Amino acid sequence: MLKLKLDSSKFFKTKTLVFRSMLWLLVSSAALLFVPQPMLTALALDDILSANAHFVGLGLIVSVAYFFSLVLNFLLDEAIRYLSDKRMVETIEAKVQLLDPAERALLREFFIQGATILTLPKNELAVKSLVETCILEGLGNERHYAIQGPTADYKISMKARLYLNRDVLRLPSGAPSQEELQHLLKARPQFINGMVQPRKHAA
């Protein structure tokens, strides 16, 4: 972990150094090429510029190309992020329309227990399906049990929360009656009592 942090810090410092060098090259090359001739003469730079004009021009081209590549990379990253978010939303929307009883019951637990994070069995089919369709988001904290199998912490993704309301999860609109409460308890996943642990105060 320490080595990874050191490598990241070294990479960031190198990137910053390259950026500053290219910025200096851009400004200095542009200044030499576009500054008025009388000023060059006054500064005694006209002879130096004449002798090294090709180097100055090359420096300007290289620095402009560098900053153009930065802008292009930024635009590409934004486009990829936009398409990824759009695909994720489409996946969530499609899945919300096709939730099976086990998946719906599992999602209800977040609302029933008032928990932001639940510890769930990783190998449970409903958990796997909801993770694959971007509705549940894994947070790590994995534990391994000989009998139960591995568990981990999960929360409902921010994008999925917009689509999971009482109607979708088939929760009562107000305080549940005794009959409705019994129905909800019967519909809970089989592993719920021994496996799910609420983490109400987690971020």
Are 157 and 135 in contact by the 8 Å Cβ rule? The answer is yes
In this prediction, residue 123 carries a pLDDT of 86
Q: Is 81 in the same domain as 139?
A: no
| CB distance 114 to 200 below 8 Å | yes
Give me the mean pLDDT over the 27-48 stretch.
68
- Tens digits of residue pLDDT in 53-100: 667 778 888 888 989 999 999 999 999 999 999 999 999 999 999 999
Residues 49, 89 within the same domain: yes
Question: What tokens were used for 161?
Answer: 């929360």
Say whether both 8 and 78 belong to one domain: yes
Residue 31's SS3 state is helix
170: which residues sit within 8 A by CB, 6+ positions away?
A: 104, 108
Judgement on whether residues 13 and 76 belong to the same structural domain of the protein: yes
- The most distant pair of C-alpha atoms in the chain lies apart, rounded to whole Å, by 95
Predicted model pTM? 0.65
Q: How many CB atoms lie within 10 A of CB 106?
A: 27
Task: List, as one string, the DSSP characters of 89-104.
Answer: HHHHHHHHTT--HHHH
Question: Do residue 147 and residue 180 come from a single domain?
Answer: yes
Q: What is the mean pLDDT of the chain?
A: 80
Confidence band of 196 (pLDDT split at 50, 70, 90): very low
Q: Same domain, yes or no, for 132 and 73?
A: no
Same-domain pairing of 90 and 31: yes
The per-residue pLDDT for range 153-189, each reduced to its tens digit, is 999 999 999 998 888 888 877 777 777 777 777 778 7
Radius of gyration of the chain (CA): 29
Q: Are residues 14 and 45 in the same domain?
A: yes
Residues 106 and 179 in one domain: yes
> Domain count of the chain?
2
The model's confidence at residue 43, banded by pLDDT at 50, 70 and 90, is low
Of the listed ranges 10-14, 50-54, 141-145, 194-198, the one predicted with least confidence: 194-198
Is the pLDDT at 124 greater than 60? The verdict is: yes
Give a yes or no: residue 203 inside a domain: no
- For residue 26, tell me if it sits in a domain: yes
Q: Give the domain extent around 64.
A: 2-96
Which of 42, 72, 96 is at the close of a domain? Answer: 96
Nearest to 139 by CA among 123, 115, 162, 155: 155
Confidence of residue 192 (pLDDT cuts 50, 70, 90): confident
Give Cβ neighbours of residue 203 (< 8 Å, ≥ 6 apart): 116
Residue 153: strand pairing partners: 119, 140
CA distance 177 to 179: 5
Distance CA 45, CA 51 (A): 10
Same domain flag for 147 and 132: yes
Both 150 and 184 in one domain: the answer is: yes
Pair 105, 92 in one domain: no
Examine the fold and report which residue of 96, 120, 155 is the final residue of a domain before the chain moves on.
96
Q: Is residue 182 part of a domain?
A: yes
Strands annotated E in 66-125: 117-121
Point out the domain boundary residue: 43, 75, 96. Answer: 96
Q: 105: exposed, middle or buried (C-beta count within 10 Å: 0-12, 13-18, 19+)? A: buried
Mean pLDDT, range 37-52, rounded to an integer: 64
Query: How many residues belong to the chain?
Result: 203
